[in-house]
């Protein structure tokens, strides 16, 4: 059996935040759990919901911190320390208002881009050297105050497109697990066109 991998989706707990743009990370790990037939359970020692799976012969832990976005690092650090996970075996999935809806971008590390969830994770881990998959949610033009946008739900018109985006992001995540970061970046980073992705 291969070493364990950790995939963390960032978001806010609670029914009022479910399916909001800011919870794109939750939406992806929930999709992966369903695909891999993994059941979610609350883990108080991590302040998180956790699902354990085997994907492509690899043990995977899926994690949804329940600390609210800005304190996500507390939960992530607890999981990493418990499993003694090397950071190269972890991916964090987040929404990104600076990427247009439809674009996904996997990177090996870097800054937070102002994302408070990533800020918290990097602070608690003492490192920014972990993979992060950004799912574009766009922002309204010239909108400096974006809280209402990111905490809003996807429109009915966006929902079908979102399903395609999440499907592509799930494929990218599986590629990361099976073939590594560089292959996953080169093969899947980019824009998912609505309705008909094939050209």
Residues annotated catalytic, as ranges: 22
192 and 164 in contact (C-beta within 8 Å)?
Answer: yes
Which residues in 48-185 belong to E strands, given as ranges? 48-55, 58-65, 90-96, 103-107, 131-136
Name residue, tokens 């996807």.
Answer: 154
Q: Could you tell me the maximum CA-CA distance found in the chain, to the nearest angstrom?
A: 50
Q: For the sheet containing 2-9, what is the strand order? A: 40-43, 48-55, 58-65, 2-9, 90-96, 131-136, 103-107, 190-191
Task: Enumerate residues 6+ apart whose C-beta is below 8 A from 193.
Answer: 102, 199
> What do you get for the CA distance between the two ends of the chain, in Å?
38
């Amino acid at each position: 059996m291969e070493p364990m991998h950790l995939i963390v989706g960032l978001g806010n707990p609670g029914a009022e935040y479910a399916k909001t743009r800011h919870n794109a990370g939750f939406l992806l790990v929930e999709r992966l759990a369903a695909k891999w037939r993994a059941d979610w359970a609350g883990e108080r020692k991590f302040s998180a919901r956790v699902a354990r799976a085997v994907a492509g012969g690899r043990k995977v832990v899926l994690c949804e911190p329940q600390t609210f976005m800005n304190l996500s690092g507390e939960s992530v650090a607890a999981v990493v320390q418990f499993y003694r996970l090397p950071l190269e075996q972890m991916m964090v999935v987040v929404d990104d208002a600076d990427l247009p809806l439809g674009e996904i971008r996997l990177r090996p590390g870097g800054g937070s881009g102002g994302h408070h969830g990533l800020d918290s994770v990097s602070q608690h881990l003492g490192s920014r050297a972990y993979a992060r998959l950004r799912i574009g949610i766009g922002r309204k033009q010239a909108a400096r105050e974006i809280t209402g946008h990111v905490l809003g739900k996807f429109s009915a018109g966006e929902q079908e497109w979102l399903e395609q985006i999440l499907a592509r992001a799930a494929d990218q995540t599986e590629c990361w697990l099976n073939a590594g970061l560089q292959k996953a970046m080169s093969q899947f980073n980019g824009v998912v066109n609505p309705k008909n992705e094939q050209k």
